[in-house]
Amino acid sequence: MHATLREIRKTPEGIMKAQETFEEFVTRHDFRLPREVVYTGCGSSHFLAKPLAMATTRLGGRGLSVPCSELLYAKENYPIGEPELLVAISRSGETTEAINALESLNTKRFAITAYESTLSRKADYSLIVPAHEESVVMTHSFSAFYFAYLQLLLSSFGEETYDAVFVSELTGEVLKSEDYIREIVDGFDFRNVIFLGSGILYPVALEAMLKMKEMAIFWSEAYQTFEVRHGFKSIADEGTLVVLLVEKPFDWHEKLTKEFQGQGAKVLTVGREDTGADYFIEVPRLSPPGNLFLYTPVIQLLAYYKAVKRGLNPDNPRFLSKVVKW
Ligand code: F1P
């Protein structure tokens, strides 16, 4: 079995490891997360920085996400202000840009990583979540990192934390859609794919787009849900799969589904209710910003099975390496 598939299936386990890391952190440190936080990372880790920034903002703080390279070479273009904390995310903890970016602001430094690493050693505080992966691409570690930090964020801001066992079980429920996802990929040989999501689900759409490119070397795009109608939708035709990631759909989602179907495209809705789509994956109820966990395994499986269908090895995608050094 491919390591990638094994690792996607480990999502429930990753959540539990993340909970342990969070609990250990709060026992060991008196430190609580501040309100003004800049988040940074590269690739998937950058797409994880985005929901973390959004979660910070939702909870009443101010979160900003900036890719590491931008923080290093173009930060004057971003509203960085005077943050109380810089959080750098890197699965390996050895990505050159992430290590350098951690030193780019004159503030306290926090690392989220899977290993004791250069990044964690340079940080004042770190969450080391041992969701280790063999695969080049990041899968269950994405959800695990998010969970550990979200718990810390919630507890720092005086909010109730998530029940880890419950969330872990819910991700297990979502993983049961694996056979159905494989059937979709086998039954419809789509030529391109568009991922749509709003709020916290937009970074999930971006991560889905990246997973498709990394694992399946396949053309994919991602937009904030309704933004796609403004020109971008012209590329959708009978060869297109549109993946609509939605928490609770309303009439606009149904109209959007019909609009794409009218262009000949097929729609897969992933959400709590169907939108009249060609394919539907129901996700259990879990309030945002924690609902991200219910979508990530689905989009990872979709990219995995597309890679398999295309006869590729998703564990070792062409031209890519696990750690990007400069
Ligand atoms: C960052 C990253 C991954 C990507 C690829 C190359 O790694 O861009 O997101 O999947 O493997 O590296 P890291 O800094 O999180 O270790």
The predicted-structure confidence for 3-38, as pLDDT tens digits, reads as follows 999 999 999 999 999 999 999 999 999 999 999 999
pLDDT score, position 188? 98
The predicted-structure confidence for 199-222, as pLDDT tens digits, reads as follows 999 999 999 999 999 999 999 999
Helix, strand, or coil (residue 250): coil
Question: 141 near 44, Cβ under 8 Å?
Answer: no
**C-beta 109 within 6 A of ligand 1:** no
What one-character-per-residue DSSP string does 134-194 give? Answer: SSSS--HHHHHHHHHHHHHHHHHTTPPPP-HHHHHHHHHHHHTTHHHHHHHHHH---SEEE
Q: How far is the CA of 177 from the centre of ligand 1 (A)?
A: 27
Query: Cα dihedral angle (138, 233, 219, 302), rounded to 10 degrees?
Result: 50
pLDDT score, position 28? 95
Cα–Cα distance, 10 to 178 (Å, whole number):
13
Other beta carbons less than 10 A from residue 119's beta carbon: 26
**C-beta 46 within 6 A of ligand 1:** no
Band of pLDDT at residue 114, cut at 50, 70 and 90: very high
In this prediction, residues 278-295 reach a mean pLDDT of 94
What phi and psi, each to the nearest 5 degrees, are found at residue 237? -145, -160
pLDDT greater than 90 at residue 248? yes
Domains 3-166 and 176-309 share a fold: yes
pLDDT score, position 316? 87
Q: How far is the CA of 219 from the centre of ligand 1 (A)?
A: 19
pLDDT score, position 324? 85
**C-beta 138 within 6 A of ligand 1:** yes
Query: Cα dihedral angle (252, 178, 301, 260), rounded to 10 degrees?
Result: -30
Testing ligand 1's pocket by substitution, the residue of 120, 319, 323, 326 carrying the most ligand atoms inside 8 A of its CB is 323
The predicted-structure confidence for 136-146, as pLDDT tens digits, reads as follows 999 999 999 99
Question: 101 near 72, Cβ under 8 Å?
Answer: yes
pLDDT score, position 291? 93
pLDDT score, position 102? 96
Band of pLDDT at residue 323, cut at 50, 70 and 90: confident
* pLDDT cut 70: percent of the chain above it: 100
pLDDT greater than 90 at residue 322? no
The predicted-structure confidence for 174-205, as pLDDT tens digits, reads as follows 999 999 999 999 999 999 999 999 999 999 99
The predicted-structure confidence for 298-313, as pLDDT tens digits, reads as follows 999 999 999 999 999 9
The predicted-structure confidence for 52-88, as pLDDT tens digits, reads as follows 999 999 999 999 999 999 999 999 999 999 999 999 9
Q: Which residues contact residue 319 at a Cβ distance below 8 angstroms, ignoring those fewer than 6 apart?
A: none
Cα–Cα distance, 17 to 43 (Å, whole number):
23
Q: How far is the CA of 155 from the centre of ligand 1 (A)?
A: 28
Question: Which residue, by CA, sits nearest to atom 10 of ligand 1?
Answer: 137
Question: Which residue, by CA, sits nearest to atom 2 of ligand 1?
Answer: 43
pLDDT score, position 6? 97
Testing ligand 1's pocket by substitution, the residue of 91, 100, 128 carrying the most ligand atoms inside 8 A of its CB is 91
Question: Which residue, by CA, sits nearest to atom 11 of ligand 1?
Answer: 322
Question: 264 near 238, Cβ under 8 Å?
Answer: yes
User: What ranges do the domains of the chain cover?
Assistant: 3-166, 176-309
pLDDT score, position 118? 97
Q: Residue with structure tokens 């993946």?
A: 243
**C-beta 44 within 6 A of ligand 1:** yes
pLDDT score, position 321? 85
Q: Which CATH superfamily is domain 176-309 in?
A: Glucose-6-phosphate isomerase like protein; domain 1 (3.40.50.10490)
Cα–Cα distance, 202 to 47 (Å, whole number):
9
pLDDT score, position 318? 85
Q: How far is the CA of 313 from the centre of ligand 1 (A)?
A: 18
* pLDDT cut 90: percent of the chain above it: 96
**C-beta 303 within 6 A of ligand 1:** no
Question: Which residue, by CA, sits nearest to atom 13 of ligand 1?
Answer: 90
What the block records as the tokens of 301 is 């499986």
CATH number of 3-166: 3.40.50.10490
